[in-house]
Structure 1
Amino acid sequence: MKTYFLKFTQNLPITLDEAWDFFSSPHNLARITPPQMNFIVTSTYNGDAKMYPGMIITYKVSPLFGIQMNWMTEITHVQDKVYFVDEQRFGPYALWHHQHHFKEIPGGVEMTDLLHYAIPYGPIGRITNKILVGKQVKKVFEFRTKAVEEIFGKYTGK
């Protein structure tokens, strides 16, 4: 199984508390996911739910061609206001391990995502990743970068 690695870093003009509060709430995920993915959190947590180790989050998502799928992730690690990790338990990937790191910087917060993922189906999965899935994953993170900037503003370093 071939594993792929992507790293994304974004600086935000907000406090560490604001960043943590926003990104550690499962219900904010839909706000930063492309609308065409029809992303819906189906877990029954209240709007104030914050992530904790062992938390299971379920979704409906249409990652490709409008085909709706169920996706389940588990929050496996949390260090308050430093990082959390979500791992797929059921869904479209053979492997999904996504680390979210937060660090105070002058004038805001640096947010870094480290993503390891794999596509099932051996050689067919590798071809599919090269032609389609890898590009789609990058587009999701590009959308998220723009959405987060619209929500919080552009980082200026001051």
Structure 2
Amino acid sequence: MRSSGERAVAGVTSGRIGPGEQVTWRARHFGVRFRMTSRITAYERPHRFVDEQLRGPFAAFRHEHRFEPVDGGTVMRDQVRFRAPFGPLGRLVEPVLGRHLRRLIEERNRHVAAAAERAAADLD
């Protein structure tokens, strides 16, 4: 995640994360540095998990990750629901934030897929 300098700095910072566990991310978006702490609020391995912001830049943030088996692999689907801070003023920028989040999650998913494929190749 070089473009945003995003990295895990507290809580679970490597390996698998599980039910009730937390991770704090540090990143820079739109030129602003921030920290966001999320907790895993739902965990149904291997089908889905949900992380929700405890502290951070959003008024609310919920990210559901779903995993569906397909021939020869897995499809991962994300659903993000968020509210920008600053009430009505924040709602004006939600379309911009939504597009930015979509690109960010797509980039992260490419990274996750590549890491999973490397791990699977190591098992062969």
Check whether TM > 0.5: yes
Please, which of 130, 135, 138 is the counterpart of residue 102 of structure 2? Answer: 138
Matches within 5 A, 1:4-153: 33=1, 35-43=2-10, 45=12, 47-48=14-15, 50-65=16-31, 67-130=32-95, 132-148=96-112, 150-151=114-115, 152=117
Structure 1 residue 44 displacement after superposition: 5.0
User: Aligned partners of 2:12 and 2:106: how far apart in 1?
Assistant: 28
Paired residues, number: 117
Q: Give structure 2 stretches of 5+ with no counterpart.
A: 119-124
User: Of Structure 1 and Structure 2, which has the larger fraction of its residues in strand?
Assistant: 2
CA contact (8 A) 1:51 1:78 kept: no
Question: Per-residue CA shift, 1:76-108, capped at 9, x if unaligned?
Answer: 111111111100000111111111111211111
CA contact (8 A) 1:39 1:60 kept: yes
Q: Give structure 1 stretches of 5+ with no counterpart.
A: 1-32, 154-158
Higher RCO structure (Cα 8 Å, ≥6 apart): 1
Q: TM-score under structure 2 normalisation?
A: 0.81
Q: Percent identity?
A: 25
Query: Structure 2 counterpart of 1:43, which letter?
Result: A
User: Aligned partners of 1:143 and 1:88: how far apart in 2?
Assistant: 20
Q: TM-score under structure 1 normalisation?
A: 0.65
User: Aligned partners of 2:59 and 2:11: how far apart in 1?
Assistant: 26
Structure 1 residue 142 displacement after superposition: 3.1
CA contact (8 A) 2:11 2:21 kept: no
- Give the CA RMSD over aligned residues: 2.1
CA contact (8 A) 1:76 1:86 kept: yes
Describe the SS at the equivalent of 1:43. Answer: strand
The runs of at least 4 aligned residues of structure 1 exceeding 4 Å deviation read: 148-151
